[in-house]
Amino acid sequence: MRLLFSVVCLVLPSTLGFNAFSPVINHRSLIRKGDGGNFKPLQVGTVEPETIELKQNPHPLEEGVLKAFDRFASATKLALEDKRHIDELVTCFSYASRGRMLPDGGVVMGQGAVKRFLTDLLVTDHPNGSRRAEFSAPTIESDSIVTSEDVAVVKSSLQLRSAGETRHLDLELCISSGGAEGASGFEITSIAVAGADVGATSLRADARKNGPKWETHDGRVRQQIWQHTGLFDSGNRFIVDKLEISTGRIIAVIDANVWKLHGETLQTWADSLDLKLDTVIAPGNEDHKTMDNCLFMLDELKRLDPLRRSEPVLAIGGGVLTDVAGFACALWRRGVPWARVPTTLLGMVDASVGIKVAVNYHRKNGVGHFFSPTHTFVDAYFLGTLKRADVISGCGEIMKAALVHDRTLFDLMDEHGVRLVDKNFENDEVADEIIKRSVDTMLECIGVDLWEEALLRPMDFGHSFSRTLETDSTFYLRHGEAVAIDACMSTLIAEVKGYVTRAEADRVLDVYYRLGLPCMIKGVTADTFKRAARDIVVHRDGLLRAPLPRGIGSCVYEDVFTDGEIEAAFARLEGFMLKHPETCWDRSKSFSPVDTEDN
């Protein structure tokens, strides 16, 4: 009997939402299983329907391939309705499946990578139910159906429609039986996607207006960094929408001092959105960057029991709090999603970009992990209640970035830094520019290597000696203070080595002095810096790899600090401190000036 192939459509599930086209087989090619991952060129354009002769009892491969495509299309629609169902879509693919964006995208391999590929393609930045899918009829390219181990190439077009946006995608799927009996064993072994945005110019303009200020995305993790004012104003849904909170509850790990100052504001915000605010209140000073604090947070996560993916934990506090909270999230259930709101100047300009989380254990950041937040929200609202010493500590990280990467940033701090410290970097265009340039520097220097696979890193400036200094002072130094002392000593070593002039070194010390940054610790000797240089070599895989300023605004690396060079730089710094004794840090200047066993 001669039948149009459209007869096959009548026996398939009707859930696809196809256009009024029949499935089509083009008698051109069949890919053997061993070649199933080879991507053929795919032209952008709608698949044209056609009819062919088909036997009344089609080969099982034909039925299986079409049912596998039907399952893929149905799962796509389900994922658009609720992003949590992206996992059902991923089950349409083999464990070793591959994905590629044509014409020039790289190949991703494995179900986990394919899940990230499909998430970015279909649902990222789109609320549940805001998009709908329309598929054209699938076209099977096949010369012959020989065995159940063959792989068929299926083409279809997909339109993703939402308010004011239509995206057209052309899909090429390789579908295999995997050697299984019957149609149920068919799975997708690879997907290639070519697409063009409709109204791309206006969409790009809208993205510039409404998208994240910065973004880190290296193929493994994606973090969006937003600069937004009034995050916790009554009725503001910005965080809720970006985190896609749909359970009516938000779990927040909050610095105890932030809660004391802003707890009422945070609770009023949650109430205005009919959200239940479940809080974990934890200390956030450097001496609480501990395993005990992390274990406390883990116990609290057990108590609150966040849903595995749908209730990301929001960490609100300075760099210490967000580091410890991020580490706890990395450990709980082998990783639950989290986001952060840095509330200190240092947290905004330094900790807001990287993906490292850790606690101090035997050494600075002795136990930790790489675990990226999904979002970072920067809101200058919190700067107004910072203590002056914490503002100055943030300047230590800004100056680090300026000295080895951005001379303009250094000039801005030289000219405006003292004034901005006095006003807590609030409500000032120059302050906003300094924060922006600091984050830009971090992104340029570490955004391309979030996992520290390369160990020559300009942002390690200020960290050659500071780890030992912080440990020796039992972590009563603020981190930015330790970085500042390191930067001063390193700059003077650079002077000894001939990388900066005496005039440049004097200018650096003068800016640090005027900002109120410490340049040395009371009681420390040159031997402390010699020991610190030896200690950091282990962390840097057996070489010193010390970043030093070359002039102001660029960087050079050194593998050797001789004892003579350290002694000469230290003697120079001692002379500066004799003229400016206020630049010498002692315990009275700590956030915890009185020794106690439990602080």
**Whole-number Å distance between alpha carbons of 408 and 429:** 15
Run of H or E including 189: strand 187-198
Q: CB 596: neighbour CB atoms within 10 A?
A: 6
Choice among 115, 289, 356, 589 that is catalytic: 356
Distances 56 to 60, 63, 115, 226 between C-alpha atoms, Å:
12, 12, 37, 59
**Whole-number Å distance between alpha carbons of 332 and 369:** 13
3-state secondary structure of 423: coil
Query: Which residue, 332, 299, 304, 327, is CA-closest to 315?
Result: 327
Q: Are 117 and 108 in contact (CB under 8 A)?
A: yes
Distances 227 to 211, 238, 252, 352, 377 between C-alpha atoms, Å:
10, 11, 19, 11, 6
Distances 433 to 148, 291, 408, 426, 554 between C-alpha atoms, Å:
63, 36, 11, 12, 20
Contact residues for 541 (Cβ-Cβ < 8 A; gap 6+): 455
Query: Which residue, 167, 147, 151, is CA-closest to 68?
Result: 151
- Total residue count of the chain as it appears in this document: 599
Query: Which residue, 424, 458, 420, 429, is CA-closest to 441?
Result: 458
Q: CB 298: neighbour CB atoms within 10 A?
A: 15
Q: Is 242 a catalytic residue?
A: no
Residues assigned a catalytic role: 356
